[in-house]
Amino acid sequence: MHRIESPHNEGLKEIRELTKKAKKRWEKGMFVAEGERLLLDLPASSLIQLYVQEDYRGALPRGIEKEDSRICILSKKAMESISTTEHGQGILGLLRFPKWKKPEGNLFLILENIQDPGNLGTLFRTAEAAGVNHIFLSRNTVDPFSPKVVRSTMGSLFRLPFSIEEDLLSLCERLKSAKVQVFALDLSGKKAHFQASFQGPSAFLFGNEGNGLTKELSQCATEKLLIPMEGKIESLNVATSASIVLYEAVRQRRYIKEEG
């Protein structure tokens, strides 16, 4: 355990860069997570350094003792210089990128060009709650390790396997070859989401908040689906749409017996 008083400390300078620059995060394989609740259940092995404000009275992450050499005590000014929130909680962790095994399971989420950090965070939380086995992200999706995304996942980022994919078209072809049905949520779909069967291996494609899926990726799907809407509503928020569809999959898998 050691102490830092000055906001100008070189180590804190690197933390600030990691909070602001995606390129820096990926070069170093490190990211920052802030807040007592978020850090409580992080894998202890992923923790590189834990920064704690001198007057912090909250809980430490599970498995981390007060005498842990990775703990660094900061003055209030030093902590304020690295905090990513207006009203920080006085605890911030420097973490290694998680390492996941090869994707496995039978329920997948594929996200193309999602740009809003809050949406991506909600998608992670919803996917974990619905039992998704793996999330595939396009390269142009917002960085999952940005502070806003990390915070909005509420810990799902530590638990739900995910990967960045260079080519979602190739991914879809591989999934189809592995007998996974790939469903594209698209306004051009001819069938409602609840009319499709999700009881077998399934992957769901969701696209950009404003533009939806690219035409090429949508056409690569096994089937295009839509969520029926009334009134003058033209579309739903992508995280809302994913929640509706994923929980239809949960309903079918958990409460409807396979025919035959």
Sheet holding 181-185, edge to edge: 162-165, 134-138, 107-111, 202-206, 181-185, 223-226, 191-192
| 189 and 80 assigned to the same domain | no
- Mean pLDDT, consecutive 10-residue stretches, the chain (260 aa), reads 92 96 97 94 90 95 90 97 91 95 94 98 98 98 97 94 97 97 91 96 96 95 94 90 97 75
- Residue 187 confidence (pLDDT): 83
| 91 and 131 assigned to the same domain | no
Residue 260 placed within a domain: no
- Residue 146 confidence (pLDDT): 97
Residue 119 placed within a domain: yes
Range of the domain at 73: 2-96
Q: What is the largest CA-CA distance in the chain?
A: 69
CATH number at residue 56: 3.30.1330.30
| 78 and 162 assigned to the same domain | no
Residue 59 placed within a domain: yes
| 63 and 169 assigned to the same domain | no
Mapped to the 3 state alphabet, what secondary structure does 123-142 carry? HHHHHHHHCCCEEEEECCCC
Which CA distances in Å does 172 have to 113, 120, 239? 16, 20, 21
| 129 and 251 assigned to the same domain | yes
CA–CA gap between residue 182 and residue 201 (Å, rounded):
9
- Residue 233 confidence (pLDDT): 86
Residue 197 placed within a domain: yes
Residue 54 placed within a domain: yes
- Residue 260 confidence (pLDDT): 42
| 87 and 117 assigned to the same domain | no
> Which of 62, 96, 130 is the last residue before a domain boundary?
96
- Asked if residues 214 and 207 have their Cβ atoms less than 8 Å apart, the reply is yes
| 21 and 122 assigned to the same domain | no
Compute how many other C-beta atoms are within 10 angstroms of the C-beta atom of residue 187.
Answer: 13
CATH number at residue 124: 3.40.1280.10
Beta carbons within 8 Å of 116's beta carbon, 6+ residues apart: 142, 209
Q: What's the total number of domains in the chain?
A: 2
> Which of 63, 96, 129 is the last residue before a domain boundary?
96
| 41 and 131 assigned to the same domain | no
